[in-house]
Structures are given as C-alpha cells and as structure tokens.
Amino acid sequence: MNTPELEQRQVVVIGAGPSGAIAAALLKRNGHDVLVLERQRFPRFSIGESLLSHCLDFVEEAGMLDAVQAAGFQTKHGAAFAWGERYTEFDFRDKFTPGKGSTYQVLRASFDKVLADDAERQGVEIRYEEEITAVDFSGACPRLIVRRLADGGEYQVECAFVLDGSGYGRVLPRLLDLDTPSNMPMRRALFTHVEDRIAADAGFDREKILITTHPTLRDVWFWTIPFSNGRCSLGVVAEAGRYEGYPEDMEACLRQFVAETPSLGKVLQDAVWDTPVRELKGYSANVKSLHGPGFALLGNAAEFLDPVFSSGVTIAMRSASMAAGLLHRQLSGEAVDWQQDFALPLKRGVDTFRAYVEGWYDGSFQDVIYYEKAQPEIRRMICSILAGYAWDLNNPYVAEPKRRLGVLAEICAMN
C-alpha cells in the first residue's frame, strides 16, 4: 500500500465555521501559515442564528466587520421575552458593560460563508469537502490523515499545532476520546423556517429575538428569530420526556406546542410553513480537556450548553480569539500556559452562561426576567450577559453568577 503524500504546514484549523474562520484570519494577520480543512461544501445549513453583540467584537478583530455589515443581515438590538400576558425586553444598547450594542440575526448558511470567504480574501487557504479520518499527536509534530470526499484520495498533513473548530462534528474529541458526559439534562429541539407574514400591529419587534415561555410548562420555550427576508426561524426546546403524548410527526408536534401558546400563536397566525421541520437532540456536550500537546478545542467542538441565550457562537468566537492570540505567542517563541491563559478564563464565561441557563430551566432566572419592578442598574447588568459579555468580572452578576442570581430570584419571588 502506498503511503499518502505528506504536506508540511504551520497551523491546521479544523472547520471553516465562525470559530475556524476567525481563528484562521487572526493567525494569518499575524503572519502565520494556516490551512483550514472543512468537511462540507459552503454554503451549508447550520443552527445558531441569533448572534449576540459580543460576537461583533471578534468579527471586527478579524477584519471581517465590513463584509458582515454589507451582507444585508437583520439588525438585532436585543432580546424580548413573553410568558402568558407578560412581556419584557432587553436592549443591548443599554447595558452595564462597554461594548457593541447591536448585532445581527443571520441565516447561518450565508453568514458562515461571508466569514469563510473573507478569511480566504485575507490569504487563508480553505479546502472544502475534506475529512480528517485519523490523527497522531504522539510525535514531535501533530500529523493528520485527510480524505478528499470528491475522489476518496488521502494525504497527510504535519503541522506545529491544530485548532479544532469543527462544531457539532467534534473531530478531535471523537478521535482522541476526549468526550465526557454533559451535566445538562437531555433536551430536544424541533425547528423550522417559515415565511412569517407577521402583521405590523402584532407587537413583534424584528430587531429582537423573541423567547417565549410555554404558558404552563415553564421549562419549555420557543425561539422566534426574524430575518431580513420576511422569514423567521422558529423552534421549541424541551426535555425529551415533555414530548410524550405529542404527535410523532415533527411538524405536527411543533404546531401543537405553538397552538398551546396563545401569544406566539397570534404572532405566527398568518405564517406559511413551507420548510420541513428538523430536530436536534442530545446536543449538550463536554470534554475532558480543552487542550493538549499540539492542539486546542474551540467553541462547540469543546462544549455546548443550550440554545436558550444564543451563547454558542459567542463562546466559539471568544475561544477562537483567545486561542489565536495565545498560539501566535507560542509560535513566536514564547512559553505559554494553555490551562491558565486559555482553558480557565474561557471556562469562567462559559460557567457564567451555565448559571443562567440552569436558572432559566429551574425557573429562578425566569422569575428575574419577568419581574416587573426591577431596578434599572440590575437590568443593565443582566442585559450585559444577554448581550454576550459573560467575561466582564466588573459585573457582579458575572463575578458571582450563582450567588447573585439566587439572591435576586428570592427577592423577585417575594414581591
């Protein structure tokens, strides 16, 4: 058997999604040789369509902001929440943490291609429809076996470092046996895109994501994400057991959940359901380590919590920025500590999001969200987290998320 040809590169990035494209661009801007290997052909469908404001900090850092602004995506200024007759909203422009106050709601097929194309414009090489089938990190340099999906041909790449931005594909966690069970309950999401035909007088703000709590099942919620083309993404999320007694047909099931929620049903009463309903289940994931000799994991390739606060893309981009900066220093000859300078600080923000995700499902954070007498300064601190600024330790609700949320929820419940 012939040995596959061997190629020498400096950095290999797995995946051309947001984390991979941004990490590759940042490294290229610092003068490094970067090869991106992507299993799919872009554009391709992906979930995670409502960006947080903090995302644009990294888009700008990677030199991609002009391209994103020119793409015509739906402007997003915040998040709205509805539960029965209650309705409240958070405007990301009025928050505690300095930073961007606006962002976008995007069709990810288009958004991810904009980022990847701009990375290529900056000189990054991206190879599509190429799959990593094996890895070897036992030698002096990481070595990858790559299969070209078009013709089945194989080759090897040897490099100084590998960044895994493969998202739900979780390439290195699978190949290196890094996966570990998530402590998040098993949940299932059903979702689709509809031509929404939302009336102008429906009280629906297209510049915000709408998160709707089921009237009686407080751990069941919906997302409604409007796009700039008159369509929206619609989904329901619930633990697996909540689907018992509902239709097996996914569209009928989603329609029944919506019908049980009058405020959302009213918003979508004229919608045209013209796209098959998809499902995503058992999506929460975790790993034994975010890094190892010769590699680091980015975004969803490392850990995914839950879609409720749209934190996934933010965590992915933040991890890409942090890893690219640290890797630049390492490749420049500095001694770096991936645990102290990457894993631990990244985890602090992830754990902040985790506290509020857990609080959402146990009802405590919902009590805070829907509280009608909230102090403006506290709302601004909460708004910062909803805008993605979950690493700002000047914010008390980031510095001590569980304790602060617990105290606040008790106050809200008593009043």
Query: Domain residues for 277?
Result: 187-281
Percent of the chain's residues with pLDDT above 90: 86
Q: What is the pLDDT of residue 200?
A: 87
Measure the CA–CA gap between 5 and 385, rounded to whole angstroms: 48
The SS3 assignment for 342 reads helix
3-state helix, strand, coil in the chain (%, to 5): 35, 25, 40
- Report yes or no on 81 lying in a domain: no
Rg of the chain's alpha carbons, rounded to an integer? 22
Position 184 confidence tier, pLDDT thresholds 50, 70, 90 = confident
Residues 6+ away with beta carbon under 8 Å from 236: 189, 190, 191, 220, 221, 222, 254, 257, 258
Same domain, 171 and 304: yes
Residue 2 or 155, more confident: 155
Vertex 370: Cα angle to 366 and 373 (nearest 5): 130
Residue 139 or 306, more confident: 139
Tokens of 379: 């709302």
Percent of the chain's residues with pLDDT above 70: 98
Helices (H) then strands (E): counts for the chain: 14, 21
Does the pLDDT at position 1 exceed 60?
no
170-199: burial string, b at 16+ Cβ within 10 Å, e else: bbbbebbebeeebebeebbbbbbbbebebe
- Helices (H), ranges, 140-223: 171-175
Q: 242, 262, 281: which is the final residue of a domain?
A: 281
Q: What is the pLDDT of residue 76?
A: 98
Same domain, 328 and 406: no
Does the pLDDT at position 373 exceed 60?
yes
User: What average pLDDT does range 28-54 have in this prediction?
Assistant: 96
Q: What is the pLDDT of residues 347-367, one digit of tens each?
A: 999 999 999 999 999 999 999
Residues 6+ away with beta carbon under 8 Å from 149: 39, 129, 130, 131
- Report yes or no on 277 lying in a domain: yes
Same domain, 405 and 313: no
Residue 228 or 182, more confident: 228
- Report yes or no on 94 lying in a domain: no
Same domain, 161 and 255: no
Same domain, 134 and 45: yes
Among 54-68, 113-127, 305-319, 379-393, where is mean pLDDT lowest? 305-319
Query: How far is the first Cα of the chain from the last one, in angstroms, to the nearest whole number?
Result: 74
Q: What is the pLDDT of residue 2?
A: 63
Q: What is the pLDDT of residue 168?
A: 83
Q: 296, 316, 348: which is the final residue of a domain?
A: 348
User: What average pLDDT does range 31-54 have in this prediction?
Assistant: 96
How many domains does the chain fold into?
3
Does the pLDDT at position 128 exceed 90?
yes
The residues facing 235 across adjacent strands are 191, 223
CATH number of the domain within which 213 lies: 3.30.9.100
CA nearest 154: which of 134, 173, 175? 134
Does the pLDDT at position 381 exceed 80?
yes
Same domain, 124 and 205: no
Tokens of 330: 């390492």
Does the pLDDT at position 182 exceed 80?
no
Q: What is the pLDDT of residue 134?
A: 97
Measure the CA–CA gap between 286 and 154, rounded to whole angstroms: 30
Dihedral angle, C-alpha 162, 165, 168, 171, nearest 10 °: -10
Q: What is the pLDDT of residue 378?
A: 95
Q: What is the pLDDT of residue 305?
A: 72
Same domain, 40 and 162: yes
The SS3 assignment for 103 reads strand
Does the pLDDT at position 71 exceed 80?
yes
Q: 348, 376, 399: which is the final residue of a domain?
A: 348
Q: What is the pLDDT of residues 18-27, one digit of tens each?
A: 999 999 999 9
Q: What is the pLDDT of residue 300?
A: 79
Residue 137 or 167, more confident: 137
CA nearest 378: which of 344, 410, 346, 408? 408
The SS3 assignment for 98 reads coil
- Report yes or no on 89 lying in a domain: no
CA nearest 18: which of 130, 109, 127? 109
Q: Confirm if 222 and 264 have CB atoms less than 8 A apart.
A: yes
- DSSP tag of 318: H
CA nearest 415: which of 363, 373, 366, 360? 373
- Report yes or no on 309 lying in a domain: yes
Measure the CA–CA gap between 190 and 275, rounded to whole angstroms: 12
User: What average pLDDT does range 219-236 have in this prediction?
Assistant: 97
Same domain, 257 and 300: no
Same domain, 271 and 309: no
13, 82, 235 from 210: Cα distances, Å: 34, 7, 11
Same domain, 118 and 131: yes
Q: What are phi and psi of 266, to 5 degrees?
A: -65, -45
CA nearest 323: which of 305, 306, 342? 342
The residues facing 227 across adjacent strands are none
Q: What is the pLDDT of residues 242-301, one digit of tens each?
A: 999 999 999 999 999 999 999 999 999 999 999 999 998 876 677 889 999 999 999 876
User: What average pLDDT does range 159-183 have in this prediction?
Assistant: 90
The SS3 assignment for 203 reads coil
Same domain, 11 and 55: yes
Same domain, 154 and 215: no
Tokens of 178: 């890094």
Does the pLDDT at position 302 exceed 80?
no
Query: How are beta strands 179-180 and 286-287 bridged, if at all?
Result: antiparallel
- Return the biggest CA–CA distance within the chain: 74
Peptide bond into 181 cis (omega under 30): no
- Report yes or no on 334 lying in a domain: yes
CATH number of the domain within which 19 lies: 3.50.50.60
- Report yes or no on 95 lying in a domain: no
Does the pLDDT at position 179 exceed 90?
no
- Report yes or no on 146 lying in a domain: yes
CA-CA-CA-CA torsion sign (159, 164, 170, 173): positive
Average pLDDT, rounded, for the chain: 94
